[in-house]
Amino acid sequence: MPRTHAALPRLHVEPDLSAGAQLTLGKEQSLYLAAVLRKSVGDEVVLFNGRDGAWLARLTGDAKKSVALQLIEQIAAQTPRADLWYGFAPLKTERLDYMIQKATEMGAGTIQPVLTKFTQVSRLKHERLVANAIEAAEQCEVLSVPDIVPETTLERLLHAWPEEHGNRQLIFADEGEDASSPAELLAGLSGKPIGLLIGPEGGFSNDERARLHALPFVVPISLGPRILRADTAAVAALAIIQAIIGDWR
Ligand code: SAM
């Protein structure tokens, strides 16, 4: 299928997008377009805001601190935010950035840091997580930026799950599970709303594992015979979920 406009820069913006609208970018996005990409008047970009689909826009002003754009036409209708919930025990700095970016690329619609007993990070910069999600959304051509939900503790998450998530099944990547393929387990969840939980570098505590195993909405899975780093496990788990019951089908 031809990917027209694939070569154009894609930018997430806040304002409403409609035919003939005009908008001026902020300093950071203007510098990126005018100075880094050296775009100038007449060049085209693609804009999205998570509500109005993707829009082709043309530069009408290329000042380095305030690029002006005129919207031309909608090139893709808005698609709903993915329904995949992704919870993970936050890692430190670059690996945390990586986790947010990969979860966005792999189709998570809601991302929530979950503090567990062995989590080594306690304070998170929410705006940094959002910035990583926006950057990844721009790059992988999704039309909605995942919703980054403020962090919670594993206990609070599990206690509130039935009320907040209804019949959503929580797939729990359990490094203590006997090595096996999760394919059949996942196939049995087809059609149900799904969440995925990935633990910290230090893994889940035995009490946390027992607590999770005892809950009716939790589906423990193995990711094979080797212990994966948390960021590897996240991508591996999201890949098999998308391939077997998600939007890769
Ligand atoms: N306890 C080990 C450690 O000290 O590094 C492993 C923790 S592992 C790096 C982090 C998370 O990745 C785990 O809590 C689990 O969610 C997931 N994970 C890693 N390998 C896995 C496997 N073979 N099966 C299921 N989940 C796995």
Å from CA of 51 to ligand 1 middle: 36
Q: Do strands 147-148 and 108-115 pair parallel, antiparallel, or not at all (unpaired)?
A: parallel
Contact 209, 199 (CB under 8 A): no
Rounded to the nearest integer, the mean pLDDT of the chain is: 95
d(C-alpha 198, C-alpha 234), whole Å:
6
SS3 track for 37-63 = CCCCCCCEEEEECCCCCEEEEEEEEEE
Q: Which atom of ligand 1 is nearest to the CA of 197?
A: 16
Q: Report, as an integer, the average pLDDT of 167-188.
A: 94
Residues lining ligand 1, CB < 6 A?
Answer: 173-175, 177, 198-199, 201-204, 222-224, 226-230, 233
Å from CA of 207 to ligand 1 middle: 15
Å from CA of 23 to ligand 1 middle: 46
pLDDT at 1: 52
Domains of the chain, start order: 3-76 (2.40.240.20), 85-244 (3.40.1280.10)
pLDDT at 2: 60
Q: Which atom of ligand 1 is nearest to the CA of 227?
A: 20
Residue 123 confidence class, pLDDT cut points 50, 70, 90: confident
Contact 92, 113 (CB under 8 A): no
Per-residue pLDDT tens digits for 79-115: 999 999 999 999 887 889 999 999 999 999 999 999 9
Q: Whose CA is nearest to atom 3 of ligand 1?
A: 202
Residues listed for the chain: 249
> Which own/partner contact pairs does 57-66 have at CB distance under 8 Å and 24+ positions apart?
57/23, 59/33, 60/22, 61/24, 62/33, 62/34, 63/30, 63/34, 64/30, 64/31, 64/34, 64/35, 65/27, 65/30, 65/31, 66/24, 66/25, 66/26, 66/27, 66/30
**pTM for this one?**
0.92
Å from CA of 116 to ligand 1 middle: 13
pLDDT at 180: 86
